[in-house]
């Protein structure tokens, strides 16, 4: 009770006493008369009623000025209805008496639900809400920031049929494969098809029992390109098509030094792959009697080794290098050069000794053994009649039975590998040219000299129309940073101190991010082209909010004062009654 309340209560009490004192004294005087008048008793009762009404008026006036407080209701979570909330409510019914909030995308909400334009508005209207319970497919990006740190329960609706997950190689190097992996649900999708920019089918796959699939296609022309993934039903009809933007890069080519003691079909197809892959090739092939095609001799000098990224040589070239040449080659390997030794038979004694010093034990084995590579049934290939052992080597290429036909180990800052598969060229001659290229590409990328590659700033995996996108890696001091939409219209970007800028795409398609003379590409997807995929991504983003820590429990809200007007009306009624009694008494 405050000092003001005490003072006003004292004044009201004093007023009642001052009003009662003369009436009490008059009543005592009338009672002391020897012969009291007949109306004395009635006057006494009237005075008592007036005193009671005066005290009551004082109490009502005090309550009108300081109405009593009422306890605040206990805080409860808001129940938020989002898109397809009825599907979610089928597994988790809405609590009776819950405060219902209906977002704009909630279809046909109950009459008791309060419609709001967004979740932030609902939280402003209900500041004492203790957490959020969301029923529906997901929270849209518009509402996720408001729900951060408040979401306590999320009951999602059943996922729609269609494409639920999709990932692909977005920035492959020229010659690499674009790999597409995904997951579909529902019996309506019987096959998926990868198509090139002209709409021609590149590869078709049937989802497995779990709905997962994998596709691949070579990346050829450098620059941006737009592949597509088409979903097909059992009759071959199209159930949907999703664009797959890629940007084929052309990095500085690897510099390959190829040394061979004699020509062979394996060497011929290997050279063709090196040229098709755009690698820089320095080939030196011995033809006997000191004749070497491509150079003055097999043994490269130090400058050539320092300039090369990978040396591929066979056992004849290994022996022909001699102790000095092999020593120079291994010294360059310790400085970062990659070396791959192709074995068709045992090297000479001196060559074996040098390999044994590196931990490689090369022994004669049974005759050339037929094998199938892992993941490839045909054609059948052959390994050299050798036993290659190394305690610390890692497999580079495996057969279907799990045995290795190529292995490698680190050597200083570089790597050295041994390859004893005899006829990988058969792959290129039997319709498996892509597999042949993949084998040698993997080997070259594993062993070649490590090269510093300045990667582009991380790009968002998905950009959706009408949703906020953030582009980083921009120069904050750049005078012109813009995004150009498919129609050619440019929108200026304002990078912050970190080099990031936000933009809101309005049209689907390929957009160019321009900073000075530099240009990078971003594709904007439309949610209606992949509704199941969009819903799955938004559901994942909503579930991430559940992992965010909740704020400390709020203290119970202070009691709120009740309205004072009912007490004021009561005081006015009692005051009028007192006025009427006074007027009547004077008239009597």
CATH of the domain at 203: 2.60.40.1930
Place of tokens 């990988």: 424
**One domain for residues 417 and 290:** yes
Find the angle CA(490)-CA(493)-CA(499) to the nearest 5 degrees: 145
C-alpha torsion sign, points 441, 446, 355, 400:
negative
65 and 85, same domain (yes or no): no
Domain boundary among 250, 284, 308: 250
Quote the domain boundaries for residue 94: 78-158+536-547
Please give the pLDDT value at position 140: 92
Number of H helices, E strands in the chain: 13, 32
**Residue 454 lies inside a defined structural domain of this protein:** no
The answer to the question of residue 352 being in a domain is yes
Distance between CA 334 and CA 353 in Å, rounded?
18
> Are 56 and 107 contained in the same domain?
no
CATH number of the domain bearing residue 507: 2.60.40
Q: Provide the pLDDT for residue 455.
A: 47
- 555 belongs to a structural domain: no
| Same domain assignment for residues 327 and 377 | yes
Cα separation of 163 and 193, whole Å?
13
Euclidean distance between CA atoms 309 and 268, whole angstroms: 20
Question: CB of 229 within 8 A of CB of 182?
Answer: yes
Q: Where are the beta strands (DSSP E) in 400-549?
A: 404-411, 414-419, 469-471, 481-484, 490-492, 501-503, 509-515, 518-524
- Which two three-digit tokens encode residue 269? 């197809």
How far is the C-alpha of 364 from the C-alpha of 127, rounded, in Å?
Answer: 82
One digit per residue, the tens of pLDDT, for the chain of length 588 reads 677 777 877 777 777 676 766 666 665 665 555 555 555 666 667 777 777 878 888 888 888 888 887 665 556 788 999 999 888 888 888 777 788 999 999 999 988 899 999 999 999 998 888 889 999 999 999 999 999 888 989 999 888 888 999 999 988 877 778 999 999 987 688 999 999 999 899 999 999 988 999 999 888 888 889 999 999 998 888 888 999 999 888 777 889 999 998 899 999 999 999 998 888 999 999 887 778 887 777 889 999 999 999 999 999 999 999 999 999 999 999 999 999 999 999 999 999 999 999 999 999 887 778 888 877 777 889 999 999 988 889 999 998 888 899 999 999 999 999 999 999 999 999 888 888 998 998 899 899 998 654 445 566 789 999 999 998 888 766 567 899 999 989 988 888 888 888 999 999 999 998 887 788 889 999 998 889 999 999 999 999 999 888 765 555 555 667 787 888 888 888 888 878 877 776 665
pLDDT at residue 454, as a whole number: 45
Cβ atoms of 241 and 230 closer than 8 Å: yes
Same domain, 221 and 151: no
| Domain end point (choices 228, 250, 272) | 250
Which CATH number does the domain housing residue 431 bear?
3.40.50.880
Does 140 lie in the same domain as 173?
no
67 lies in the same domain as 83:
no
**Structural domain contains residue 556:** no
H-type helices in 119-210, by residue range?
A: 119-125, 141-147
Peptide bond into 379 cis (omega under 30): yes
Q: Total domain count for the chain? A: 5
Residues 294 and 403 in one domain: yes
Cα Rg of the chain (Å, integer): 44
434 and 494 inside one domain: no
Q: How far apart are CA 13 and CA 59, in angstroms?
A: 9
Same domain, 295 and 440: yes
Residue 335 structure tokens: 């400085």
Strand partners, 218: 177
Task: Report how far residue 208's alpha carbon sits from residue 203's, in angstroms, rounded to the nearest whole number.
Answer: 16
Nearest to 258 by CA among 219, 311, 200: 311
Q: Are strands 291-293 and 394-398 parallel, antiparallel or unpaired?
A: unpaired
Predicted local distance difference test score (pLDDT) of residue 92: 81
User: Does 88 fall in a domain?
Assistant: yes
Q: Report whether 567 contacts 63 (CB < 8 A).
A: yes
In a domain, 377, yes or no: yes
User: What's the N-to-C CA distance of the chain in angstroms?
Assistant: 44
Residue 460 covered by a domain: no
Final residue of a structural domain among 250, 276, 296: 250
Question: In the structure encoding, which two tokens stand for residue 510, read together?
Answer: 């390929």
Q: What is the per-residue DSSP string for 85-111?
A: HHHHHTTSPPPTT-EEEE-TT--S--T
| Whether residues 41 and 183 fall in one domain | no
**Residue with token string 């408040």:** 150
Contacts of 481 (CB under 8 A, 6+ apart): 474, 475, 492, 493, 494, 495, 501, 513, 514, 515
User: Which alpha helices (H) appear in 91-187, and where do they start and end?
Assistant: 119-125, 141-147
Global pTM value: 0.60
| Closest C-alpha among 579, 580, 467 to residue 139 | 467
Residue written as tokens 């997951």?
183
456 within domain boundaries: no
- Give yes or no for a cis peptide into 577 (omega within 30° of 0): no
Same-domain status, 240 and 268: no
Structural element, H or E, at residue 243: strand 238-248
């Amino acid at each position: 009770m405050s000092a003001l309340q005490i003072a006003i209560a004292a004044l009201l009490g004093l007023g009642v006493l001052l009003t009662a004192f003369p009436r009490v004294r008059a009543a005592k005087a009338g009672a002391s008369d020897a012969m009291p008048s007949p109306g004395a008793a009635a006057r006494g009762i009237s005075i008592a009623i007036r005193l009671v009404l005066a005290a009551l008026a004082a109490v009502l006036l005090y309550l009108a000025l300081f109405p009593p407080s009422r306890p605040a209701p206990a805080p409860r979570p808001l129940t938020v209805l989002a898109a397809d909330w009825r599907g979610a409510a089928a597994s988790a019914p809405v609590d009776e008496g819950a405060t219902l909030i209906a977002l704009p995308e909630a279809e046909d909400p109950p009459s008791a639900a309060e419609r709001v334009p967004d979740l932030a508005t609902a939280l402003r209207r209900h500041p004492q809400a203790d957490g959020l319970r969301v029923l529906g497919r997901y929270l849209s990006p518009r509402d996720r920031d408001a729900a951060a740190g408040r979401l306590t329960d999320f009951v999602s609706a059943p996922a729609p049929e269609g494409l639920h997950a999709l990932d692909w190689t977005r920035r492959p190097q020229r010659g690499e494969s674009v790999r597409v992996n995904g997951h579909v649900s529902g019996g309506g999708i019987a096959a998926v098809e990868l198509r090139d920019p002209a709409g021609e089918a590149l590869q078709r796959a049937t989802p497995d029992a779990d709905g997962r699939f994998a596709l691949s296609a070579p990346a050829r022309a450098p620059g941006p390109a737009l592949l597509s993934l088409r979903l097909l039903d059992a009759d071959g009809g199209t159930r949907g098509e999703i664009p797959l933007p890629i940007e084929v890069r052309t990095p500085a080519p690897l510099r390959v030094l190829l040394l061979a003691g004699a020509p062979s079909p394996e060497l011929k197809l290997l050279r063709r792959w090196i040229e098709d892959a755009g690698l820089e090739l320095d080939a030196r092939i011995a033809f006997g009697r000191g004749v070497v095609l491509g150079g003055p001799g097999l043994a490269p000098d130090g400058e050539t080794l320092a300039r090369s990224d990978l040396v591929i040589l066979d056992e004849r070239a290994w022996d022909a290098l001699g102790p000095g040449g092999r020593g120079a080659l291994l010294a360059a390997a310790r400085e970062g050069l990659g070396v791959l030794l192709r074995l068709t038979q045992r090297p000479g004694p001196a060559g074996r000794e040098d390999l044994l010093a590196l931990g490689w034990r090369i022994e004669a084995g049974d005759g050339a053994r037929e094998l199938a590579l892992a993941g490839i049934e045909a054609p059948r290939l052959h390994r050299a009649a050798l036993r290659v052992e190394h305690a610390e080597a890692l497999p580079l290429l495996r057969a279907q039975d799990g045995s290795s036909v190529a292995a490698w180990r680190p050597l200083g800052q570089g790597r050295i590998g041994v390859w004893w598969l005899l006829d990988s060229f058969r792959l290129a001659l039997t319709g498996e040219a892509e597999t042949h290229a993949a084998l040698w590409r993997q080997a070259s990328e594993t062993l070649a000299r490590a090269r510093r590659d300045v990667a582009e700033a991380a790009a968002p995996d998905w950009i959706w129309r009408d949703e906020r996108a953030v582009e980083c890696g921009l120069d904050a001091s750049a005078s012109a940073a813009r995004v150009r939409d498919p129609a050619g219209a440019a929108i200026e970007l304002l990078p912050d101190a970190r080099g990031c800028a936000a933009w809101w795409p309005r049209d689907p398609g390929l957009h160019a991010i321009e900073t000075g003379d530099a240009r990078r590409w971003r594709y904007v997807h439309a949610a209606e082209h992949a509704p199941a995929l969009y819903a799955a991504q938004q559901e994942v983003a909503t579930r991430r909010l559940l992992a965010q820590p909740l704020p400390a429990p709020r203290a119970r809200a202070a009691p709120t004062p009740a309205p004072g007007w009912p007490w004021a009306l009561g005081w006015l009624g009692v005051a009028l009654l007192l006025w009427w009694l006074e007027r009547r008494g004077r008239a009597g």
